[in-house]
Amino acid sequence: MTHNVDPAAPLPDVRDRPRRPASRRRPRPGAHIFSGNPKIIPVAFLITTIALCAMIMLYWSLSYSYSQLRDIALLVVSEHLARWWPLTVYGPWLLAGLSILRASVQHRTARRSWAVMLLSSATAVALCIGQSPSSLLGMVIVGIPPITALVCFRELVGQFSSGRGPRHAADTLNGPKQGRP
Tens digit of pLDDT for each residue in 5-50?
A: 566 666 666 566 666 656 666 656 655 555 566 677 777 888 888 8
| Residue 74 near residue 175 (C-beta atoms within 8 A) | no
For residue 167, what are the β-bridge partners? 108
Radius of gyration of the CA atoms of the chain, in A: 31
Residue-level pLDDT at 119: 94
Mean pLDDT (the chain, rounded): 77
Cα 164 off chain centre by: 14
Write the Ramachandran bin of 107: left for phi over 0, alpha for psi from -120 to 50, otherwise beta.
left
- Asked if 41 contacts 139 with a C-beta cutoff of 8 angstroms, the reply is no
Residue 123 to residue 118: CA distance in whole angstroms: 8
How far apart, in whole angstroms, are the C-alpha atoms of residue 152 and residue 159? 11
149-170 confidence digits (pLDDT tens) = 888 888 888 877 765 555 555 5
Which residues, other chains included, contact 88 with Cβ-Cβ below 8 Å and sequence gap of 6+?
Answer: none
- pTM of the predicted structure, to 2 decimals: 0.59
Confidence of residue 115 (pLDDT cuts 50, 70, 90): very high
